[in-house]
Amino acid sequence: MRSRSRKTLRDERRTADVRTVNLKVPTIKCEGCVEEIRETLTKRSGVAGVEGDPARKDISVTFDPDRLADADIRAVVADPGFAVR
């Protein structure tokens, strides 16, 4: 009896390309503002991470560009009243 060759299964998990956008948000006053922005953004599908620095008044958002555009992120940050540059 001939032995059949078995195909080995490869791990085909696709790692999404991610992108990071850095935003100046001059209306950030404290860590609470950063947390509010983080909570709002992480509810969106495609957002992988949010970091912020109230002293520097900036936010860095890592996201999947196949699911979100820069403009979407800017709109989400601006929606609760934060100015975005």
In one-letter notation, the amino acid at residue 3 is: S
Across the chain, which distance is largest between two alpha carbons, in Å? 76
Are 76 and 40 in contact by the 8 Å Cβ rule? The answer is yes
**Mean of pLDDT values over 47-65:** 96
| pLDDT value, residue 16 | 59
The CATH number that domain 19-78 falls under is 3.30.70.100
Given a cut of 80, whether residue 7 has pLDDT beyond it is no
What average pLDDT does the chain have? 85
C-alpha–C-alpha distance, residues 34 and 10, integer Å:
41
C-alpha–C-alpha distance, residues 3 and 55, integer Å:
67
C-alpha–C-alpha distance, residues 24 and 9, integer Å:
46
| pLDDT value, residue 34 | 97
How many other CB atoms are there within 10 angstroms of residue 64's CB atom? 14
